Amino acid sequence: MSILKFDSYDEVIKRANDTPYGLAAGVITKDLSRALQLVEQLQAGSVWVNQYSALQFQAPFGGFKQSGHGRELGRYGLEEYYEMSASDSKASSVEIKYTQIFINNEWHKAANGKTFPVFNPCTGEEICQVEEGTKADIDKAVEAAKKAFEIKSSWRNYQPAERGNLLRKLADLLRRDVDYLSKLETLNGGKVINDSVGEVFASAACLDYVAGWADKIAGETLPSAPGTFIYTRHEPVGICGQIIPWNYPLLMLVWKVAPALTCGNVVILKPAEQTPLTALYCASLIKEAGFPPGVVNIVPGDGPNCGQAIAVHENIDKIAFTGSVEVGKKIQEAAGRSNLKRVSLELGGKSPLIICEDADVDLAVTIAHKALFTHAAQICVAASRIFVHSKIYDEFVSKSVELAKKRVVGDPFDSKTEQGPQINSSQFESILEYIQSGKQAGAKLQCGGERVGDKGYFIQPTIFADVKDDMKIAREEIFGPVMSILKFDSYDEVIKRANDTPYGLAAGVITKDLSRALQLVEQLQAGSVWVNQYSALQFQAPFGGFKQSGHGRELGRYGLEEYYEMSSSDSKSPSVEIKYTQIFINNEWHKAANGKTFPVINPSTGEEICQVEEGTRADVDKAVQAARKAFNIESPWRKYEPVARGNLMRKFASLLRRDVDYLSKLETLNNGKSVEDSKGDIFASADCIEYYAGWVDKITGETIPGAHDQIIFTRHEPIGVCGQIIPWNYPLMMMAWKLGPALACGNVIVLKPAEQTPLSALYCAALIKEAGFPPGVVNIVPGDGHECGNAISVHEDIDKVAFTGSVEVGKKVQEAAAKSNLKRVSLELGGKSPLIICEDADIDYAVSVAHRAIFTNAAQNCTAGSRTFVHSKIYDEFVARSVELAKNRVVGDPFDPTTEQGPQINDSQFQKILSYIESAKKDGAKLECGGERAGNKGYFIKPTIFSGVKDNMKIAREEIFGPVMSVLKFDSYEEVIKRANGTSFGLGAGVITKDLTRGLTFAQQLQAGSVWVNDYDAVCNQAPFGGFKQSGHGRELGRYGLEEYYEVKTVVVKLV
């Protein structure tokens, strides 16, 4: 340490500066004026006052004189990695390196030999030609991805940490090439160069963030009965199709690819046809980072051909799309028509920003300016509806116009430019049309409204005042620099107006009143709400929309959830009085609007039990109106404390138990299951309702770390009106599975029971009213699927539909949801579940488990173990003992306590099962027992066993839903896994073995939502249940079952 004396400040400044160096300096004084004077005079890159070496990432660091040039850290640190030009565009200096299709880590020309042009939006001129991917190229990419996802591929055998390391390597490569990538992005997308640089760094940071999750995607162990051990695994979905937009080409690529790869999936990505160049360059970096061939495939092409090929492809397991609502609907519809692939959508918005009367007007103007005009307003969350309190309205408009007029529009390579061009001619013309419509509708044009220059697609920052809610510019997404400023007087009024839109992506509030802010946060129907700032997106905070702004979430822990699956004779009927046959709406009984009824049949006799009112579209409309009223923010139901909801649910559960004798008889009469099984269903239903009652005050959001002046938290909010369509095989239990989580989360319900079995649901309606649920919270509308079920699926005011039933109908439900209002969809569909009996199994035990797995409930189970794979060493003995047990099974009157198997549900199902039996005989399977009807009345079929069954036989491939056991022989475990997974279904699976390692290996390799080891169909309320592949998507039961019934709202509050 060298200590030097000084006497005057002029002297010390001269001496301090007398050096060839100029890296840093410090001053210690209580005199602030003196300190600032010395700061100004010291020739150093950093000067610290009353501290030293106070380096911070946001503050630039670097030297004067021979201490170097350039800066590190902060925004200035970015400037070392791009070139700036005062006037001439640098566009011509960007070399285009990749223009072909990237499949299997190789470059390919398009199968059709065609290319398409990519344009520079600054000039409207062509940059280059890019290979045009179509269905043939997507097929090729799928084959590569399929191979990369095989169970023994290198990618599937990577440790989670290894996947994370590859993502970090890709992040490093993005940073290394930031100069080139940012220029390429600006050239192709028209984004200003500073923003492009920021996007590259943000993309790298996102990769780093998600990479950190790779070894933290944990399942759970769940409490269970003695002798059982239940755990969940989070497994990759498979092949993920991803379609990204043109406004943030690189960032959207990373938002989609990163969580998919972290979870172990493989990807086929289609970049927007307007902006494919950065994605193709990233393909080369993905290969350089070391990702195995086929893990990421990038296929440029247009939406109607290339995008459609992804949406409809039978071998793509999940699709993620960011773009317009119109296209999002088509994608969900296509996914429903094809293989019921999982769908997540991040769509458009018409986001409100509410400026309260206590806001700092200058701050509010700055925030609103950025919220709308950033990236030429080509942002899905753009605050295109600015609601300003009447007390500050005129001042806000005046200052906003002043700021907008100063905004620099022009060459995006110029560092002074704040706003570049719109993306293309069609978007440019569309925006100008919206501006004209604003003028014609009577909005007051305050500034802008015209193109800038005579080349490219530049538009002046445009502001309209006196905008009304019914004007086109206030209702439709413009995706251009048009600010609509609307006046409001009261907060009740502004919330109603802000929410009056089919969109719900984002919203903002500017106020100094924290209580008001939090109240508005709760009431705004949007996936993200920012307080005293806007568009404060962070990787750790989930992002996604309410309503038609999409479903699913990107970013944060929630973003990962989109990319993994979770793996769990004459009747002696007593006289049963039928008490309720009408439609239940608003806690009242109604006749059908069309005056019609339909018959309900006793499957034990084929005779009519009663007539039930036939609900149609008009009745569903009436039920939805009641539900909407019950869901109003000021309704009693919405004001209940969580514990009050739980108490109502517990009361309902106790009423089910109270009436178990009557309900079990009613269920047996209507459904045909044995009365003991019906009793078990009632108690299980009560337990399920009670289980979810215990969750009501435990549905918590998260607080998320953010900047020092930010509070970030998530809220889990009810979706709204939930349509629920339940099946006939477990009428009451399926009702409980759907009602429980929906009510726990605070939703309201319109439920359609199966037309074959509506009676127990209608009796439950009376119990729901008796329990004290407010009118309109639960509404039950019996009717057929074509009319009543379809009315629920297409209804514009139903926010979510949950369906359990066949794959065929499930596809129609998802299509209908897409065609209407993009309601959320969860599906629990069919299965063709394998049960694998290993050679070390205890044969008697295995026979008993297999018997129960197929014949329970007359095999009318979605998880029925209808493909029994038996090792060749024990095959003959297993078949012989199974036949013996089946022949002793008692089939008959379900009210008789000795009966083990009742009838099939109806004549059509009865005939269908007999036709499957005939097809098996013709295909060469050996009929070991059964194969014919039992008795001469009702729909009874003898327990049937076929041996010698081959994988290609109809009975081994299609869901029968009847008492037909197919026993298939296998020799090796590799072979049986491949055969067991060789189906479009993936609901349940079982393994019987004494070798625990083998059992757990099979559990890992079987593609099914639930795998049972040394047991079968061991369903319990705390363990999630649902399917892989075409067996549906979404989960019922457990904590995961709740996630189907709430929206995640991200709230970011800036402390000002």
pLDDT digits (tens, 9 = 90+) for 884-927: 999 999 999 999 999 999 999 999 999 999 999 999 999 999 99
Residue 57's pLDDT is what?
65
CA geometry: angle at 456 spanning 455 and 460, to 5°?
95
Strands 462-465 and 444-447: antiparallel
The pLDDT, as a whole number, for residue 574 is: 55
Beta-carbon-side half-sphere exposure of residue 524 (alpha carbons within 13 Å) = 31
Region of 1003 on the Ramachandran plot (φ > 0 left; ψ -120 to 50 alpha; else beta) = alpha
pTM for this prediction:
0.79
What is the model's pLDDT at position 74?
Answer: 58
Parallel/antiparallel/unpaired status of strands 234-236 and 564-566? antiparallel
The end-to-end CA distance of the chain, in Å, is: 43
Domains and CATH numbers, the chain: 9-79 (3.40.309.10), 102-117+132-322 (3.40.605.10), 352-537 (3.40.309.10), 583-828+1042-1047 (3.40.605.10), 834-1026 (3.40.309.10)
User: Rounded to an integer, what is the distance from CA 712 to the centroid of its chain?
Assistant: 21
Concatenated DSSP letters of 999-1016:
HHHHHHHS-SSEEEESSS
- CA 186 to the chain's CA centroid: 31
Distances (CA, A) of 410 to 89, 193, 367, 370, 407: 10, 12, 22, 17, 10
Look at residue 201 and give its three-state secondary structure. helix
Residues recognised as catalytic: 346, 380
- Report the Cα 107 to chain-centroid distance in Å: 32
pLDDT band at 541 (very low <50, low <70, confident <90, very high): confident
Sheet holding 550-551: strands in order across? 106-108, 101-103, 296-298, 266-270, 239-243, 318-322, 342-346, 550-551
Note whether 66 and 22 are within 8 A (CB): yes
Encode pLDDT of 778-816 as tens digits: 999 999 999 999 999 999 999 999 999 999 999 999 999
Q: DSSP assignment of 805-833, as one string? A: S-HHHHHHHHHHHHHTT--EEEEE-----
In whole angstroms, give the CA distance from residue 12 to residue 1032: 77
HEC sequence for 40-55: HHCCCCEEEECCCCCC
Q: Measure the CA–CA gap between 787 and 112, rounded to whole angstroms.
A: 44
Residue 600 pLDDT:
96
Question: Given pLDDT bands bounded at 50, 70 and 90, which one contains residue 443?
Answer: very high
| Nearby residues of 714 by Cβ (< 8 Å), 6 or more positions away | 541, 542, 558, 701, 702, 704, 1048, 1049, 1050, 1051
Q: Give percent of the chain above pLDDT 70.
A: 96
Beta strand pairing status for 550-551 and 342-346? antiparallel
Q: Which helix (H) or strand (E) holds 529?
A: strand 528-531
Kindly indicate the confidence band of residue 38, based on its pLDDT and cuts at 50, 70 and 90. confident
CA 7 to chain centre: 70
What residues form DSSP beta bridges with 266? Answer: 239
Q: At what angle do helices 642-658 and 660-671 cross, to 10 degrees?
A: 70
**Cα(410)–Cα(302) distance, integer angstroms:** 28
pLDDT score at 406: 96
For 629-681, how does the pLDDT look when each residue is reduced to its tens digit (9 = 90+)?
999 999 999 999 999 999 999 999 999 999 999 999 999 999 999 999 999 99
| pLDDT at position 82 over 80 | no
Distance CA 28, CA 14 (A): 17
Is residue 338 within 8 A of residue 818, CB to CB? The reply is: no
pLDDT of residue 76: 52
Handedness of CA 922, 928, 931, 932 (dihedral sign): positive
DSSP 412: T
Query: Which tokens go with 110?
Result: 């398009």
Output DSSP code: residue 773.
Answer: P
Find out whether 334 and 811 touch, Cβ atoms under 8 Å.
Answer: no
Taking the C-alpha atoms of residue 265 and residue 560, their distance in angstroms, rounded to an integer, is 11
Class of residue 426 by CB neighbours under 10 A (exposed 0-12, middle 13-18, buried 19+): exposed
